[in-house]
Amino acid sequence: MKKIILRVIVNALAVAITARLVPSISYQGGIGGLLVITLFFGVINLFVKPIISFFALPIQLITLGLFSLVINGAMLYLTAFLLENFEISGMWFPGIDFGPIFIVPFFIPAWGIAIIGASLISVISGCLHWLVE
């Protein structure tokens, strides 16, 4: 029971850090809303993700597992779609002009932000789990 509570707290912290780092991912409701989002995201990953991963297995094999980033982003986007207090929206990337490196400004759609956010949540929660355990 302690492991489950610890896992929920660590994942909630990862979602909060990601919402802080990515300006177009936001949530309302404070800590209670964050826990609801985390629990709902966990339930979706527990029940929906295996079904989608099974049907996407040929694509996963062709892309050598890289398509799992898209699946994780879809699970995060589904969570935002079903919950009113969690929002993922598109954003304009302002571009980078750093000497010889120049990246033009461009728009990142909501599904791209979901993939970025899911990747960040995965990395942050993995690091936090490693620190806690």
Give CA separation, 51 vs 74, 92, 119, in Å: 13, 33, 20
- Which pLDDT belongs to residue 133? 79
Cβ–Cβ under 8 Å, residues 122 and 72: yes
pTM over 0.85: yes
Cβ–Cβ under 8 Å, residues 67 and 56: yes
Domains of the chain, by residue range, sit at 2-91+106-132
CA–CA dist 27, 19 (Å, integer) = 7
CB atoms within 10 A of CB 116: 21
Instruction: Write phi, then psi, for 108 (nearest 5 degrees).
Output: -105, 115
Amino acid at 131: L
For the chain, 133 residues long, the average pLDDT of each consecutive 10-residue run is 90 96 94 95 95 96 96 97 96 91 94 97 96 87
